[in-house]
Structure 1
Amino acid sequence: MRTRKRLGVDIGTTYIKCVEVTRRGRNLVVTAMGKTATPKNAVQKGSLANPLAVAEALRGLLEEMGVLGKTAVLGITSPDVMVKSHRMPLMKDKELGKALEFELAELVNFPFDDVREVSYDFAVLNRNLSDVEILFVACRRALLDPFLNCLEDVGLEVAVIDLQAFNWPRLKAQPQRVCYVDVGEEQTTLYVELEHTYKVYRILPIGGFHFTQGIMQAFACGPAEARKLKEERHLDFLLTQGTGQLSTVRSVFEQYIAGILQTLDFVRAEERATHIREVLDSVYILGGMAHLQGFQSVLKEEIDLDVAVLNPFENTATAEGVEIPEDFASYASALALAIRGFEE
């Protein structure tokens, strides 16, 4: 009998988020969700620095959620994961896997002594009469092992490890030409798909932490008050009304915009379009920063595209007693990963 439950696990710098999805007939239903604070310094730029502390926090969260399923899908977002498109001679998928092993030294951007030190996978993007274009993803196995050990310590069986961004389109009914922007605590991830096909995956080294630091300088306050201001105040207020040094918080926001614009311009140029509107229909923002008042409208004005906060629960029902949280966009990755698990 096929397992009817999947647990999406998103271990972030600030919070650990989990969403349990259950198959009921032909439908997928969210049957539990929750989050807990990530132990301080336990996760750094997508790497697990303290597996024992994270395992303890995760165990407590699962008990609080009353999770019954044991099959988990783990999401990774790290600058140490390389993603690239690559062309190879036309061959079958099984042959591609074997051929890639011989090309690893040239494909990956880090040294290794043994292929067992490398974790990699690929997906076919396009085939023609002479060659095949693949999406190649790789990282050091040492990046994944602490995460795997952590989940195994709390009794979970990891069915899939995947990049979180690759699963965001699963949350939309018809994700045609879309850019996703996830503003995390330490980094911002951008993912672009055109007509269901990978186009760009990029991580910017700037996130909510840097914005909080800017608010601290602008309003001459501590981190707790800065986080409160970020939760309660409009973006325009944060950028203009501080009595301290405003240049830092403005600089951080300008870096957000510049990174997004640069990425979109790359897509436009690759598609040989005059304007990005010829290529993209929408931009969806997710993560905790997506709920910053005014962020959506200011971003829309700056990039001249339709911008919306991604509601991951728009197309997936929730069970009775499961309430959609106010910060719903921060659960996007965990839900998308849980849905991904039913494809295995």
Structure 2
Amino acid sequence: RRPSPRREGIDLLRDVAAASEPAPLPRRQPPAPARAPDERPLPELTLPIPERLPEKTVAAAREPRADAGANRDARAAAAPLRLLGPGRMGVGLDIGTAHIKLVQVRGTGRGAVVTAFGAAPTPRTAVSEGAIAKPGEVADAVRRLMRESGVRGRRVVTVVGGPGVILRQVEFPRMSERELRETLRWEAEQHIPIPPDEAISDFSILGDAPAEASAASPPPMRVMLVGTQRKLVQGLLETMRAASLFPVAIDIDALAVSRVLGANGHHPKRSDDSSVMLVDLGASGTKLSVFREGVPAFNRTVNVGGNDFTAAIAEGLGQDMAAAEATKRELGVLPDTAAARFLQPLLDELLLEIRRSIEFYLVRHERAEIRHIHLAGGGAGLKGLPEALADYLTLALGVRGEEPELKVAPLDPLQELELHPRLGDRRDAFGPQFTGALGLALREGG
């Protein structure tokens, strides 16, 4: 039996609603256990990552795939990334540690048009590591931002992100969506290491797993599992209630970003073995995501963010935080500047963690390669960052001259999308920091 079609991707609100319903009586025997693709437990992203990529892995990554073709198309067909349809309006709300971002789009026959957007500072100490500690203050800031930016919709798609979100891809025997949800009542804790009474989770069926030539039975199905702490979702819902907003879905940032990449034509064709990486440099941390066939295949947060660079400048040059922020925007991470020697240790740490993440991903996906890295978030515009990252990774990963060049650049969220004519003079203001909010607004069903 083929897996049932999934609704509109991941929505952590479904688990909130399910928690208020009476739980069905458990079966006498639990369903068949899930099987991880390589028969090993899925690793935590905090596990040690090899310093050097094994030579046999490098060689395998250069060999052509023998199983390319229909299987890949079938696996990609169910990716939970449907975009907003013609005549529909979507509003995306991204509440970050430093800034709140808001985007409103309208679907047309030619694609999506951004009709309103804006950003405002997040109240100080109101948000930390994805958790909203002061819902009332954040709600006030959201209401002001909606008035100032001209966003009229009250139905919003919002997001949870950061280190509190766990994403896994697991293989299960073929079953219906209802049977899978029942199975996860028994097995979710094996893959989402959060106590069940503290967790909110959801899943999306991605399609068939790669079929083995000797397999007599139909291939299992690939499932994306997402889990987070209940308190993160509850804080978000309290904020929405205080702001008089109706959250139609709670998404995850990796899927929101993937919609923007897809809408701008950045996902490789299904016949291509290459993957795309996004480095989202936020205020409190940097989110690293690798996408394969449009679906997040790797997700990790590094504890180096824009605030750390600002603090290093403030301490090194004896400036207050406001002056240090201005210095950071002026000088970036360019070498041979007054701030360079104070920023170099942080830059080295960030580059090393990006390299380790790429190596870890390539070990797990031997035939994959990464040739495009997009920068997003408030730190995407740091002067000198694209060049520093490209130079470091080209040397560290041993990219040879005859191979395609590694491209690193800030993401332009509106490369293939339109801005409403009345916003035309604000085109330059819609930068990579709006990637997440735009991806939320583009979600079908929002």
Does residue 1:40 correspond to 2:138, yes or no? no
Match of residue 60 from structure 1: 144
- Measured against aligned partners, the alpha-carbon deviations of 1:160-217 in whole angstroms (never above 9, x if no partner) come to 1111122212222241221000001111101101222331011111111111111123
Rounded to whole Å, the distance in 1 between the matches of 2:110 and 2:388 is: 40
Q: Is residue 34–residue 61 contact of structure 1 (8 Å, CA) maintained in 2?
A: yes
Rounded to whole Å, the distance in 2 between the matches of 1:216 and 1:120 is: 40
Does residue 1:138 correspond to 2:227, yes or no? yes
Q: Which runs of 5+ in 1 are unaligned?
A: none
Match of residue 251 from structure 1: 345
Match of residue 41 from structure 2: none
Identify the range of structure 1 (24-33 vs 201-210) with the bigger mean alpha-carbon deviation.
24-33
More strand by share: 1
Match of residue 265 from structure 2: 173
Secondary structure of residue in 2 paired with 1:74: strand
Match of residue 71 from structure 2: none
Amino acid at match of 1:121: D
Q: Is residue 212–residue 227 contact of structure 1 (8 Å, CA) maintained in 2?
A: yes
Identify the range of structure 1 (306-315 vs 323-332) with the bigger mean alpha-carbon deviation.
323-332
Off by >3 Å, runs of 4+ in structure 1 = 24-27
Calculate percent identity across the aligned residue pairs. 28
Rounded to whole Å, the distance in 1 between the matches of 2:115 and 2:295 is: 30
Does residue 1:268 correspond to 2:369, yes or no? no
Q: Indicate which of 275, 287, 291 corresponds to 1:189.
A: 287
Rounded to whole Å, the distance in 1 between the matches of 2:91 and 2:256 is: 14
Q: Indicate which of 90, 93, 109 corresponds to 2:193.
A: 109
Match of residue 438 from structure 2: 335
Q: Is residue 290–residue 329 contact of structure 1 (8 Å, CA) maintained in 2?
A: yes
CA, structure 1 residues 251+92, in 2 after alignment: closer, same or farther (shift >3 Å)? same
Does residue 1:310 correspond to 2:418, yes or no? no
Match of residue 120 from structure 1: 201
Q: Is residue 202–residue 226 contact of structure 2 (8 Å, CA) maintained in 1?
A: yes
* 1:158 CA drift (Å): 0.8
Rounded to whole Å, the distance in 1 between the matches of 2:383 and 2:429 is: 13
Rounded to whole Å, the distance in 2 between the matches of 1:199 and 1:42 is: 31
Q: Is residue 213–residue 249 contact of structure 1 (8 Å, CA) maintained in 2?
A: no
Secondary structure of residue in 2 paired with 1:33: strand
Match of residue 338 from structure 2: 241
Secondary structure of residue in 1 paired with 2:383: coil
Amino acid at match of 1:108: I
Q: Is residue 333–residue 343 contact of structure 2 (8 Å, CA) maintained in 1?
A: no
Match of residue 321 from structure 1: 422
Secondary structure of residue in 2 paired with 1:290: coil
Match of residue 280 from structure 1: 370
More helix by share: 1
Rounded to whole Å, the distance in 2 between the matches of 1:11 and 1:110 is: 23
Q: Is residue 194–residue 280 contact of structure 1 (8 Å, CA) maintained in 2?
A: no
Rounded to whole Å, the distance in 2 between the matches of 1:174 and 1:330 is: 17
* 1:327 CA drift (Å): 5.9
- Measured against aligned partners, the alpha-carbon deviations of 1:47-93 in whole angstroms (never above 9, x if no partner) come to 10110000000000001112211220102212112112222222122
* 1:316 CA drift (Å): 1.4
Match of residue 231 from structure 1: 329
Identify the range of structure 1 (22-31 vs 8-17) with the bigger mean alpha-carbon deviation.
22-31
Rounded to whole Å, the distance in 2 between the matches of 1:133 and 1:27 is: 30
CA, structure 1 residues 125+27, in 2 after alignment: closer, same or farther (shift >3 Å)? closer
Match of residue 311 from structure 2: 213
* 1:225 CA drift (Å): 1.4
Q: How many residues align?
A: 331
Q: Is residue 13–residue 186 contact of structure 1 (8 Å, CA) maintained in 2?
A: yes
- Measured against aligned partners, the alpha-carbon deviations of 1:260-293 in whole angstroms (never above 9, x if no partner) come to 00011112222225xxxx6112000001111111
Amino acid at match of 1:335: L
Greater gyration radius:
2
CA RMSD of aligned residues (A): 2.0
Q: Is residue 331–residue 337 contact of structure 2 (8 Å, CA) maintained in 1?
A: no
Identify the range of structure 1 (73-82 vs 126-135) with the bigger mean alpha-carbon deviation.
126-135
Identify the range of structure 1 (138-147 vs 10-19) with the bigger mean alpha-carbon deviation.
138-147
CA, structure 1 residues 343+282, in 2 after alignment: closer, same or farther (shift >3 Å)? farther
Q: Is residue 87–residue 108 contact of structure 2 (8 Å, CA) maintained in 1?
A: no
Rounded to whole Å, the distance in 2 between the matches of 1:313 and 1:105 is: 39
Match of residue 384 from structure 2: 294
CA, structure 1 residues 105+24, in 2 after alignment: closer, same or farther (shift >3 Å)? closer
Match of residue 203 from structure 1: 301
Amino acid at match of 2:239: C
Q: Is residue 75–residue 163 contact of structure 1 (8 Å, CA) maintained in 2?
A: yes
Secondary structure of residue in 2 paired with 1:175: coil
Q: Is residue 31–residue 318 contact of structure 1 (8 Å, CA) maintained in 2?
A: yes
Q: TM-score, normalised by structure 2?
A: 0.70
Rounded to whole Å, the distance in 2 between the matches of 1:122 and 1:325 is: 37
Q: Is residue 219–residue 242 contact of structure 1 (8 Å, CA) maintained in 2?
A: yes
Match of residue 251 from structure 2: 162
Amino acid at match of 1:333: G
* 1:101 CA drift (Å): 1.4
